[in-house]
Amino acid sequence: MDLAGKTALLTGASRGLGPYIARAFAERGVHLALTARTADALEATAREATEFGVRAIAIPEDVTDPSGRMRLLERAGTLGPIDILINNAGIEWVCQYTNMSVEEIERMVQTNLVAPLMLSRLVLPDMIARGSGHVVMMSSLGGKKGSPYSATYAATKAGLIEWTSGVREELRGTGVSASVICPGFVSQAGMFAEYGKRAPRLAGESTPEQVAVAVLRAVERDLAEITVNPGPKRLMDVANAISPGAVTWILRRFGVYEFYRQQAEDNAR
């Protein structure tokens, strides 16, 4: 896809990876409809995007609200047909599963999984009718191998990976496609950056700019899935398919699971 002049709808645009993704697409000449619940930060992202000569509008909405999703699409449509949907909004909370409230579990599932599926359902028919479009799901390496104290998050991210695999094949031949991005630990942005923590050595870290570039590549080259993570954890997908128990032992032995346990204890204080 030639991105210049296209219109993208980006969720979760006010913080974390959102501003980096917005900047990367604005640099390619993509007009942006930006949404999140935090209005002030969202406006800042929009202002930065316009410095690249594109149109950008901030649309404060809660994507878990069905009415909010409809308002979002109506306002985004003022920029023109949505060519690219980037489902980036997500939440994570590291804690023991049985300490999560029913409301916290519901909120995470609605934000991370239900909202992206519903937004995609709303934009895909128009994309198919035009014969052009792309949906990007922001998943995680956590969706490939669930970590203790992050089980609900892993479940939602695994759902995005498998949704993309199935729907991408359904869309074959329509001119419309779907991709999924699976970052590992990210420095400078996101949950663990907010905690002031560095990733365990085995896991490694990527920069938010590297993740944003991966989103661009997925759309431009129509790539099914991109993993963004340095080091040996890239090999874990293959190893986990062969021997999940062995990978669990490695992650436990080299402190990855202990990292999550300690963060869960910190969050519980």
> Of the given ranges (7-11, 66-70, 144-148, 187-191), which has the lowest mean pLDDT?
187-191
* Phi/psi at 101 (5° precision): -75, 160
pLDDT, tens digit, 9 for 90 and up, residues 125-177: 999 999 999 999 999 988 998 889 999 999 999 999 999 999 999 999 999 99
For 241-253, b where at least 16 C-beta lie within 10 A, e where not — what string? eeeeeebbebbee
Name the one residue in this structure whose structure tokens are 């390619």: 28
**Cα 102 to the center of its chain, rounded Å:** 23
Q: What pairs with residue 228 in β-bridges?
A: 183
The residue extents of the domains of the chain are 7-268
pLDDT, tens digit, 9 for 90 and up, residues 57-77: 999 999 999 999 999 999 999
For residue 178, what pLDDT band results from cuts at 50, 70 and 90? Answer: very high
The CATH number given to 7-268 is 3.40.50.720
- The more confidently predicted of residues 197 and 78 is 78
The contacts found for 161-170 with CB under 8 angstroms, 24 or more apart, are 161/137, 161/225, 163/117, 163/137, 164/135, 164/137, 164/139, 164/224, 164/225, 165/224, 165/225, 167/120, 167/135, 168/224
Averaged confidence pLDDT in the chain? 91
Tokens at 92, concatenated: 């994570």
pLDDT, tens digit, 9 for 90 and up, residues 247-259: 676 777 766 777 7
- Annotated catalytic residues are 153
pLDDT, tens digit, 9 for 90 and up, residues 26-50: 999 999 999 999 999 999 999 999 9
Report whether 164 contacts 134 (CB < 8 A): no
Tell me, what's the pLDDT at 176? Answer: 98
CA distance 93 to 22: 24
CA distance 131 to 170: 14
